[in-house]
Amino acid sequence: MDILSYSRCVICARKCGVDRTSGEIGFCRSSDKMKITRAALHYWEEPIISGTRGSGTVFFSGCSLGCIYCQNSKISRASVGREVSPKDLAAEMLRLEREGAHNINFVTPTHFAPSVKDAVRIAREMGLSVPIVYNTGSYDTEETVRGLEGTVDIYLPDLKYYRTESAEKLSFAKDYPIVAREAIAEMVRQQPKPVIKDGIMRSGVVVRILLLPSHVAEAKLSLKYLYDTYGDSIYISLMNQYTPMPGMKSPLDRTVTNAEYSELVSYAERLGVVNAFIQEGGTQKESFIPDFEL
């Protein structure tokens, strides 16, 4: 069975097994028709991704994780967006390159991986020359990531949780820690060391750790795992931008404190992490959440 297929879908680790080609939908609430909510230059990624001209960012509708604190909840449950074919998406990619994008940045693309792969092939045949960024929550199966070899230049995964308890409570995905580690391992196998030219990444892996309120200890465990396993062959991005959405309960009803974030950054320094990004103040604002009305 083709892993990158919408028939009996097992693209993400939910492995719903539904036939999305016949209109069935699984956890991601998406059919086999690719749906995007925004395609524009984006300037707030890591400096080696956004550069000076921006990252050509494409946001997809739907998601296989469903985190209770999701900043992009407006789109993650497939409630907005427009359908595009691989050819349509290829045209958007070429437009973004013409507008100056340093790369094409697919945000939450897992559940549309087959169509994304087709779109990249078409775009490259039409002359696309900038790198492809796969910006994922990391609930991708190892097999799905392997199926993207040769398509993706830069992997930009999250490592959301170290503990199964947190993964189950916050994302309804008890197996997330092992799934994400296996997915990231395959990403690093494909792109084993960073290649950066003129301050812009051309290939490699950047793993993000979003610090959640009262979750410093868990973030430290994730950080130590990544550095013990990969050293400075990857970049690690420590993020303090958690923004509480309406209705969140304690401790997720507040932003991360300066003391919490400083503790995590200091721990990275003690570990000896060199290839890392940190965020300065002012990132916990709803204005950093893109407008998804097309």
- pLDDT tier at 71 (50, 70, 90 boundaries)? confident
- With a pLDDT cut of 90, the percent of the chain lying above it is 90
Q: pLDDT of 124-167, one tens digit each? A: 999 999 999 999 999 999 999 999 999 999 999 999 999 999 99
Q: What is the mean pLDDT of the chain?
A: 94
- pLDDT for 286: 44
In what helix (H) or strand (E) does residue 176 lie, and over which residues does it extend? helix 176-190
Residue with token string 């967006």:
81
CB-CB contact of 81 with 58 (8 Å):
no
Architecture of domain 20-288: Alpha-Beta Barrel (3.20)
CB-CB contact of 261 with 210 (8 Å):
no
Upstream peptide bond of 86 is cis (omega within 30 degrees of 0): no
Which pTM does this prediction carry?
0.95
**Torsion sign over Cα 202, 212, 146, 151:** negative
Kindly list the domain boundaries of the chain, sorted by start residue: 20-288
Q: Is 28 left (phi over 0), alpha (psi -120 to 50) or beta?
A: alpha
Which positions ≥6 away from 293 have C-beta within 8 Å?
Answer: 80
CB-CB contact of 225 with 181 (8 Å):
yes
234 vs 254: CA distance, rounded Å? 30
Nearest CA among 159, 114, 112, 162 for reference residue 139: 159
